[in-house]
Structure 1
Amino acid sequence: GEERGLRAQEPPRLAPPPVARAVRALDAIGEVTAPVRALMLVDTSWSMRRRVPGTSGSRAALVGRLVREGIGALPGGSSAGIWRFADGLDGERPYREVLEIGPITGRSAKIRAASGDLAIDVGGRTRLRESVLAAYRAAASHASAAEPGLVVLITDGGADSGSLGLDGLVAALEEEFDRKRPVAVAAVGFGPDADRAELTRIAAATGGRAYLAGTVSRARQAVRDAVTRRPCAVECRD
């Protein structure tokens, strides 16, 4: 039932990020038409096996399609990569690269295959915070003022089983922000377990946007919005 899937009605909008921090990221990242280096960070923990109400597919299968669509909507000249995260994916690391960051042009077959693989071997506990920080650092290593970084986090929530606390993650994101290698985190949560407050704080730490999508159509809109709109200076509006 809907208690295990996406909600029929959209929840309230998320609170805006602090103005000063959002303006800082806004200045650094610039117009949405400029190319970016995007890293899609996808939750593949056990809860992603659940079926999406009204469909025959799992949450993981849906997210795979959303990732493919999101990459396709990036500004021309952009690069993209895909990571998945869950406990025990790569030894002690709770995340694994599925597709390295590289030009979108000429890689449509690889992008399709990698996004499809997100629905395979789904399981494990959620270790979101450690994965976000690692993805942020990876994106920053590829970013520049001319081609900023973007981490698009997609998760259905659930308890974080890792050792890194939310305060520690937020502090690290704020401390490591570099105007010469700007990176924004856009956080997309869906399903009843998505942690609205946590996603808001994570995104706000980089001046990025946070979304809580209660329906499939809203989830699709949120991912597209995350890759086509620059950070909001005062308030994120639909």
Structure 2
Amino acid sequence: MAIEAAKIVIKMFPDETAIGVWEFARKLQGGADQRRLVGLGSITEPDSGQEIRRTSLFRIADGIKAFPGRASSLYDSILAGFRDVSKDYDPLMSNSLLLLTAGEDDGRGVSRAELVKALRAEWDPERPVQIIVVAFGTGADRNALNEIVSVTNGQLYVAEQPGQIIDVFLSALARRLCHPTCPGSAG
């Protein structure tokens, strides 16, 4: 259901959307914990080769798989993604980091306190980047994730049941279209 919901959302992104996709889990490839799948850029243009990003997103969605039993440094990934989006900030866009996750950090990287401290130091109200987290399942650490997204005026969405996934994706998409300073609410 999550893959089908993601495809619905991909269809809804306006042509003006700039997007990139990364995956994260411990030791994905060559020991790296994060891997870029599609570089940040226009959804209607190719990242490389002939395939436009929107087509790449559909192909990636079809190939999404969970990594059962494999830990991930969620907090390291959030910080790396936030820094990447901040580096490529576009004042004409709603700049957001949208993270899809089970919502638990493995405790082997940056701590939650260190992440929050770094986000507070680096978040720039003149160049705001929102962190939007979509967590799947009942294991998401809501308190931690709410603290993290609140630093950037972002939002947490949790889909505990498969039937909630499409509603959560649509809410997250609507939030992405909102101005970075719109008020948040607990997810």
TM-score (structure 1 length as normaliser): 0.65
Q: Is the Cα contact below 8 Å between 2:134 and 2:156 reproduced in 1?
A: yes
**How far off its partner does 1:66 sit?**
3.5
**How far off its partner does 1:76 sit?**
4.1
Q: Give me the whole-angstrom Cα distance separating, in 2, the residues matched to 1:222 and 1:116.
A: 19
Please name the residue that 1:143 is paired with: 89
Please name the residue that 2:35 is paired with: 96
Q: Give me the whole-angstrom Cα distance separating, in 1, the residues matched to 2:29 and 2:23.
A: 10
Q: Is the Cα contact below 8 Å between 1:129 and 1:165 reproduced in 2?
A: yes
Instruction: Say yes or no: does 1:77 pair with 2:77.
Output: no
Q: Give me the whole-angstrom Cα distance separating, in 2, the residues matched to 1:198 and 1:98.
A: 27
Instruction: Say yes or no: does 1:235 pair with 2:185.
Output: yes
Please name the residue that 1:220 is paired with: 166
Please name the residue that 1:203 is paired with: 149
User: What amino acid is the match of 1:83?
Assistant: W
Please name the residue that 2:25 is paired with: 86
User: What amino acid is the match of 1:214?
Assistant: E
* 1:171-217 deviation per Cα after TM superposition (whole angstroms, max 9, x unaligned): 11121112343210111112121111111111111100111212223
**Residue 128 of structure 1, aligned match among 70, 74, 81:** 74
Q: Is the Cα contact below 8 Å between 1:189 and 1:213 reproduced in 2?
A: yes
Instruction: Say yes or no: does 1:109 pair with 2:55.
Output: yes
Q: Is the Cα contact below 8 Å between 2:132 and 2:155 reproduced in 1?
A: yes
> Size of the alignment, in residue pairs?
176
User: What amino acid is the match of 2:4?
Assistant: R
SS of alignment partner, residue 81 of structure 1: strand
Q: Which runs of 5+ in 2 are unaligned?
A: 46-51
Q: Higher relative CO (CA 8 A, sep ≥ 6), structure 1 or 2?
A: 1
Q: Give me the whole-angstrom Cα distance separating, in 1, the residues matched to 2:153 and 2:184.
A: 10
Q: Is the Cα contact below 8 Å between 1:129 and 1:162 reproduced in 2?
A: no
Distance 1:235 1:163, change over 3 A: closer
Q: Give me the whole-angstrom Cα distance separating, in 1, the residues matched to 2:82 and 2:185.
A: 23
Distance 1:69 1:174, change over 3 A: farther
* 1:210-234 deviation per Cα after TM superposition (whole angstroms, max 9, x unaligned): 1121222322211221122225415
**How far off its partner does 1:129 sit?**
0.4
Q: Is the Cα contact below 8 Å between 1:130 and 1:162 reproduced in 2?
A: no
**How far off its partner does 1:96 sit?**
0.7
Percent of aligned pairs sharing the same letter: 27
SS of alignment partner, residue 119 of structure 1: coil
Please name the residue that 1:11 is paired with: none
Q: Is the Cα contact below 8 Å between 1:151 and 1:184 reproduced in 2?
A: yes
Distance 1:162 1:74, change over 3 A: farther
Q: Which runs of 5+ in 1 are unaligned?
A: 1-61
Distance 1:121 1:203, change over 3 A: closer
Distance 1:225 1:234, change over 3 A: closer
Q: Give me the whole-angstrom Cα distance separating, in 2, the residues matched to 1:112 and 1:160.
A: 29
